């Protein structure tokens, strides 16, 4: 029997947003690999082995899963959200690109999941209703100067911005700097959405304006959406506001 590696998105948190395709792929696996807290979300199944690893070990985790699949096992690599968004699918491809030539013959598949920015956007309305981009604020894998250039370009071009990995204990100042920079391009009233742990019991949603937003209200489980100059907030009696970006842009820009 030839081995296979499926890289599987678990969605943002709640079992309801795990797709049937992902559930079936998890069920087929002989072995599960992933970051411990993500593996904890997958119900135990007898006969299936689990290989938890730390957050920072994506490369070695991907290589271990590929080695295991090359021995003939059906291996599942789990990721939060979508595995292709700042996550394990690219880590697996990096290892195949530079690793053992035999890994190129493996049956590798990627099973999509609901990524954090879609889950957060859905909670507040339609902030991603028009052109948008996603940026990871982490400078672990790229220089901070690159992050700044991308923020400038995205805000300057009128994109709504979804910020992944906004802050962590090792990266405490970057988010404040990012907001300072974005204030140079965007109106003070630009809506900013914080979505924390969406789909989990400790979920929290906050809607702020760019001039009043407090970076310390975010943590590493938070996804931030920064509106464009066209993004609007609809206040509603007795209900939380709707944040949306209209589908059309008037004029030539």
Q: Which residues bind ligand SAH (CB under 6 A)?
A: 12-13, 79-82, 85-87, 115-116, 120, 164-166, 195-199, 220-223
> Which is closer to ligand SAH, CB of 3 or CB of 112?
112
110: left (phi over 0), alpha (psi -120 to 50) or beta: beta
Please tell me the distance from the alpha carbon of residue 126 to that of residue 132, in angstroms, as a whole number. Answer: 11
| Shortest reach from residue 168's CB to ligand SAH, in Å | 8
| Shortest reach from residue 165's CB to ligand SAH, in Å | 4
Stated length of the chain:
253
Contact 47, 30 (CB under 8 A): yes
- Could you tell me the two tokens for 95? 């290892």
> Which is closer to ligand SAH, CB of 165 or CB of 228?
165
> Which is closer to ligand SAH, CB of 6 or CB of 116?
116
> Which is closer to ligand SAH, CB of 5 or CB of 73?
5
- Could you tell me the two tokens for 249? 């842009």
| Shortest reach from residue 89's CB to ligand SAH, in Å | 9
| Shortest reach from residue 224's CB to ligand SAH, in Å | 7
Measured at CB, which residue is nearest to ligand SAH? 81
| Shortest reach from residue 137's CB to ligand SAH, in Å | 8
Please tell me the distance from the alpha carbon of residue 249 to that of residue 182, in angstroms, as a whole number. Answer: 21
| Shortest reach from residue 196's CB to ligand SAH, in Å | 6
> Which is closer to ligand SAH, CB of 175 or CB of 233?
175
Beta bridge partners of 234: 242
- Could you tell me the two tokens for 135? 């940026």
> Which is closer to ligand SAH, CB of 5 or CB of 77?
77
> Which is closer to ligand SAH, CB of 8 or CB of 230?
8
| Shortest reach from residue 6's CB to ligand SAH, in Å | 15
């Amino acid at each position: 029997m030839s081995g296979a590696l499926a890289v599987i998105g678990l969605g943002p948190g709640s079992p309801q947003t795990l797709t049937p395709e992902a559930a079936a792929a998890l069920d087929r696996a002989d072995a599960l690999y992933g970051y411990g807290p993500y593996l904890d979300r997958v119900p135990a199944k007898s006969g299936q082995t689990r290989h938890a690893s730390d957050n920072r070990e994506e490369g070695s985790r991907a290589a271990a899963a590929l080695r295991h699949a090359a021995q003939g096992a059906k291996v599942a690599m789990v990721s939060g959200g979508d595995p292709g968004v700042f996550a394990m699918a690219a880590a697996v491809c990096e290892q195949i690109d530079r690793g053992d030539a035999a890994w190129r013959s493996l049956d590798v598949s990627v099973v999509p999941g609901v990524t954090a920015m879609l889950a957060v956007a859905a909670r507040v309305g339609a902030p991603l209703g028009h052109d948008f981009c996603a940026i990871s604020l982490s400078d672990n894998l790229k220089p901070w100067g690159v992050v700044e250039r991308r923020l400038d370009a995205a805000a300057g071009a009128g994109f709504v911005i979804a910020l992944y990995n906004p802050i962590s204990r090792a990266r405490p100042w970057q988010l404040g700097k990012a907001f300072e920079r974005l204030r140079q391009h965007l109106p003070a009233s630009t809506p900013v959405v914080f979505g924390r742990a969406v789909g989990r019991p400790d979920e929290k949603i906050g809607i702020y304006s760019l001039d009043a937003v407090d970076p310390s209200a975010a943590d590493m489980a938070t996804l931030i959406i920064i509106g464009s100059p066209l993004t609007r907030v609809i206040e509603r009696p007795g209900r939380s506001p709707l944040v949306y970006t209209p589908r059309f842009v008037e004029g030539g820009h």
